[in-house]
Chains A and B, each alone.
Chain A
Amino acid sequence: MLQILFDALSLGSLYALGALGIALIFGVMRLVNFAHGDVIAFCVFALLWPSTDAMAIVFAGQLPWYLLVPFVLLCGAGLSVLCEIVVFRRFRQANPATMMIASFALGFVIRYFLLMLFSSRPKSISLLPELSQPVEILGARLPLLQLITIVATMVILIGLTLFLRQTRFGLEMRAAAENFSMARMLGVRANRVIMGAFALSGALAAAIALIFGAQTGTLDIQMGASIMLMAFIATVIGGLGSLGGAVLAGFLLGAASVIMQVMLPIDARPFRDAFVYGAVILVLLFRPQGLIAARGTKERV
């Protein structure tokens, strides 16, 4: 029972962090960033030295953890800001569909860039191996990593909340998310806020990359995509642009996946995802604006 709870929480953490990364950018730019998954993949591969061999040549992965973590976070934030400066800045006035396709094209470029450097074969890597030992808590044996995932997510969420609530920059970002043009008129600098949002979102992607890489031990160019899809769905059922909603929906989706895995009859288990997606459609039918509707996204007449 405890095992299920922890499974649900740790899977939910990944989805919640992913959803947060997408919601942050959507909030300030109304952009659904499909390149997010590829930023995750990029961060994982930043640990390796470029080579097309099957053997992974570990490069940054050998650093001690207190250097490794900031390095990867910086990679994510840097790439994300670069994307903003090079690409998304040109699309501020474009309609959402155009932006979406542009972000998809950008993700495509990043993915095939990685493919060129690393080839498409999955690579195995042992990232922070001391974390996979099991620990015993209240009679359940859990991998230490799962615990750390959950704790790290909590720390990130609390830190982000404090940042958004207590600092001037956070205030500006929340104002921009609510009403961008009004915020600009009141002296919020657009470029700074948007770049800040991209940097934060990139750092979140890097956090996911670290956790996921340590969990699975294999690196795959496609790995960002699966998390990205769930995170994307979580963002919408949470209420687009609402950060709290995104986190809540991320955890709910994680819980739904794990619970269905346990509860469904054996024959139906391969179809688990179909049930999860069906539940998503149901939620949308009853609350099309999302679980927690963000202010300022309502359509005005």
Chain B
Amino acid sequence: MAAAASLANSTAAGAATAERKPARFALARRTILTPVLLSLLLLAIALITVMTGSRPFNQTVIDVFVRVILVVGLYIFIGNSGVLSFGHIGFTCLGAYAAAWLTINPMMKRGSLPGLPEWLLATRLPYWQSAVLAALFAALAALIFGRVLMRLSGIAASIATFAMLAMINTIYSNWESVTGATSSVVGIPIVRMIWPYLIGAVAAIFIAWAHAISRSGLALRAARDEPTAAAASGIDIPRERLVAFVVSGAVMGLGGALMAHSIGVVTPDTFYLGLTFITLSMLVVGGMGSLSGGVVGVVLLSALIQALRWLEAGVSLGESTFALPKGVQEIALGVIMIVILALRPSGLMGNRELTLPRSSRNK
């Protein structure tokens, strides 16, 4: 928070002592290192994966990248506005189903989802086009819901977003002819290459960065830290929140579409409380107020989950095989999360961003 405030202050001070205006893109140049470093981190992970060439590992890393997209999407709204949202996975659900509608073979669609409109039944797009359209569709839904919800703040807003998630889930689990109700929608083309997911994750990171340093993003963070003062200086808080809500809705939709393409099957309950809490936990453990926190949280917790899974499957030490009993994986994950939060209540990264030490000290 202090970082955001000082950012806002320094720009404000720059404008006030107006003789020399801050150089164009000064803020962008000062902060660009963060998204670049984060992208390099992901790129390194992708390169290592490709070099090992193992299929299951490949799938794991794809899951990590999808989660990075989702958590960055959450950060855009939650981190900048300070309002905890339980509803964003709803947009992921919308995005995933939109991708399914757009990419499943028309023959199969006629059989399994007969209630779709004729033009949608006939279309079949490549996955990257469907992902972009899915993001737009989710953004549209976010705009409609956000118009209503963004008037609320604090815990009432959290509950309202939660009610939104439950609404979306109820509709998608019962609208037999369009979503296949609770049975899974199959036949989504599966993309096994790692690069599309890497591109998606990097795009999400850069979108989040661009939003955070935009006029709207700065205003929103000022409103998060000092709502009264921000409103008094003419910031229209519901409007800035709506902007963040729509941007994050689009990113969540993109994540949903890519998730659908990574597993090939969608059901409404994939996109409900389980995913909501695991993504929120990653964000909070990493540090809610910083983009780096979100990404680091995903990478660390995913690595942890994977390590525990390996232990559960059994590791051979010399002659004996060492395996954890079933259920220990989840218990250990919960305990580790509690310990991290107890030691660092504002997350691993606090509110700082990942950057090179020199550049942050100088300014």
Contact = CB atoms under 8 A, between A and B. Distances in A.
Q: Do A and B come from one complex?
A: yes
Interface of A: 32, 87, 90-91, 93-98, 100-102, 104-106, 108-109, 111-113, 115-116, 225, 229, 232-233, 236-237, 240, 270-274, 277-278, 280-281, 284-285, 288-290, 299, 301
7 nearest CB pairs, A to B: A116-B327, A109-B334, A270-B174, A112-B330, A94-B345, A277-B163, A108-B334
Q: Most chain-A CB neighbours within 10 Å: which of B325, B328, B338?
A: B338
A112 B334 CA distance: 9
Given A105-B341, A281-B160, 6 more contacts: A96-B84, A97-B84, A109-B330, A109-B331, A111-B330, A229-B162
Given A98-B284, A106-B338, A91 B345 contact: yes
B331 A113 contact: yes
Given A104-B277, A233-B162, A280-B163, A289 B330 contact: no
B141 to A, nearest CB: 14
Contacts of B151: 285
Given A116-B331, A271-B171, A288 B164 contact: no
Interface string B329-342: 01101110110011
B273 A284 contact: no
B170 interface: yes
Given A112-B330, A271-B171, A277-B164, A105 B156 contact: no
Interface residues on B, range: 35 or more
Interface in B297-336: 325-328, 330-331, 333-335
A105 B148 CA distance: 31
A225 B347 CA distance: 26
Contacts of B228: 301
28 contacts: A32-B155, A91-B342, A95-B346, A97-B284, A104-B277, A104-B280, A105-B335, A105-B338, A108-B331, A112-B334, A116-B325, A116-B328, A232-B162, A233-B163, A237-B159, A270-B174, A271-B170, A271-B171, A272-B170, A273-B167, A274-B171, A277-B164, A280-B159, A281-B164, A284-B163, A285-B152, A285-B160, A299-B154
B160 A280 contact: yes
Nearest to B173: A270
B182 to A, nearest CB: 11
A288 B345 contact: no
B337 A236 contact: no
B159 A233 contact: yes
B149 interface: yes
A237 B152 CA distance: 13
B334 A284 contact: no
Contacts of A105: 281, 333-335, 337-338, 341
B61 to A, nearest CB: 24
Contact of A232 (B154, B159, B334): B159
A102 B159 contact: no
Given A240-B155, A273-B170, A104 B328 contact: no
B166 interface: yes
A68 to B, nearest CB: 28
Interface of A is mostly: helix
Contacts of A115: 326-327, 330
B342 A102 contact: yes
B93 interface: no
B251 to A, nearest CB: 20
Contacts of B334: 105-106, 108-109, 112
A104 B330 CA distance: 12
Given A32-B155, A285-B148, A285-B151, A112 B342 contact: no
A3 B149 CA distance: 36
A277 B166 contact: yes
B288 interface: yes
Interface string B265-301: 0000000010001001100110010000000000000
A16 B58 CA distance: 48
Contacts of B326: 115-116
Contacts of A91: 341-342, 345
A91 B151 CA distance: 30
B156 A289 contact: yes
Contact of B280 (A101, A225, A270): A101
A32 B162 CA distance: 14
A96 B83 CA distance: 11
Contact of A101 (B156, B162, B284, B330): B284
Contacts of A288: 152-154, 156
A101 B281 CA distance: 6
A274 B345 contact: no
Contacts of B148: 281, 285
Q: Most chain-A CB neighbours within 10 Å: which of B152, B174, B325, B333?
A: B174
Contact of B167 (A102, A232, A233, A278): A278
